[in-house]
């Protein structure tokens, strides 16, 4: 059976690792990751703002442009590989398109 993924997975960030991290540094990185992932999830669900998420990434030392590039690559992979998402997920917040054409 294949693993199913959350629709948020292509957008979320990884924990950063540094061999010099002590236990406190690791906890701090985990807390920072939770903050940025909450902001990204709010953005995707339509409750957050892009500027807020990008500012958070920059403040935490993550290049916002690199993150956007990684998200693009992840989405392309999901499409090309036919990745299946969890059936309980409601999906991504996407702009409404005009379904009715004259």
Distance between CA atoms of 55 and 73, rounded to whole angstroms? 21
DSSP H helices in the chain: 23-44, 50-59, 64-81
Distance between CA atoms of 67 and 13, rounded to whole angstroms? 8
Joined together, the tokens standing for residue 18 give: 């540094």
pLDDT at residue 38 tops 60? yes
Q: Which residues contact residue 62 at a Cβ distance below 8 angstroms, ignoring those fewer than 6 apart?
A: 13, 36
Q: What is the pLDDT of residues 41-93, one digit of tens each?
A: 999 888 999 999 999 999 999 999 999 999 998 888 877 777 766 655 555 54
Q: Is 5 helix (H, G, I), strand (E, B) or coil?
A: strand
pTM of the predicted structure, to 2 decimals:
0.71
């Amino acid at each position: 059976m294949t693993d199913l993924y959350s629709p948020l997975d292509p957008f979320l960030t990884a924990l950063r690792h540094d061999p010099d991290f002590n236990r406190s540094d690791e906890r701090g990185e985990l807390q920072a990751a939770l903050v940025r992932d909450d902001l990204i999830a709010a953005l995707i669900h339509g409750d957050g703002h892009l500027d807020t998420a990008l500012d958070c990434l920059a403040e935490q030392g993550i290049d916002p442009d690199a993150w956007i590039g990684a998200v693009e690559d992840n989405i392309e992979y999901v499409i090309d590989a036919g990745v299946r998402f969890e059936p309980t997920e409601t999906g991504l917040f996407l702009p409404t398109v005009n379904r009715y054409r004259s």
